[in-house]
Amino acid sequence: MIVILSMIISVVPMSILGQQNADENQIVYQKTFTITFSEDDLFFTTQNGYDLVSLSEGGITTEIGKPLLPLKNIKIALPQDMKITNIQIKELKQHTLEGSFLLHPAQPSIRSSQSDT
């Protein structure tokens, strides 16, 4: 079975709107971030006949039985006591990479402390 993989490389301007209580006054913050992924950030390997795709400084999806796909967690520092009221993705650009891949399905994790007794 061959699975066609459409890799998505994205440029994502994202806006976060939040409110912070300062005494009796409310301060409203709005910050826009641009997150960019490049084809150069991807690594392709083969293991046991399956293709593995990883992202530099990223993780992988772990839903058992679903294809292992690269992912990246984005952490954003916020002012103390800030409450997020809205997150918007303002634009999403996609680029499909050509190729046919047989993606490795995610497996259940096995604890190293498990024994066969």
Determine the pLDDT at residue 11: 45
What is the spatial distance between Cα 59 and Cα 108, in angstroms, rounded to a whole number?
16
The three-class DSSP label of residue 40 is helix
Q: What pLDDT digit, counting tens, does each position of 25-71 carry? A: 666 777 777 888 788 888 899 999 999 988 888 888 889 999 998 88
Query: Cα–Cα distance between 105 and 50 in angstroms, integer?
Result: 9
Q: CA-to-CA distance for 42 and 44, rounded, in angstroms?
A: 7
Res. 8: pLDDT tops 80: no
Sign of CA dihedral 95, 39, 9, 53: positive
Q: Supply the pLDDT for residue 114.
A: 58
CA distance 93 to 39: 13
Instruction: State how far the Cα of 91 lies from the Cα of 110, in Å rounded to an integer.
Output: 39
Per-residue burial over 92-114, b if 16 or more Cβ lie within 10 Å, else e, is eeeeeeeeebebbebeeeeeeee
pTM, two decimals, is 0.59
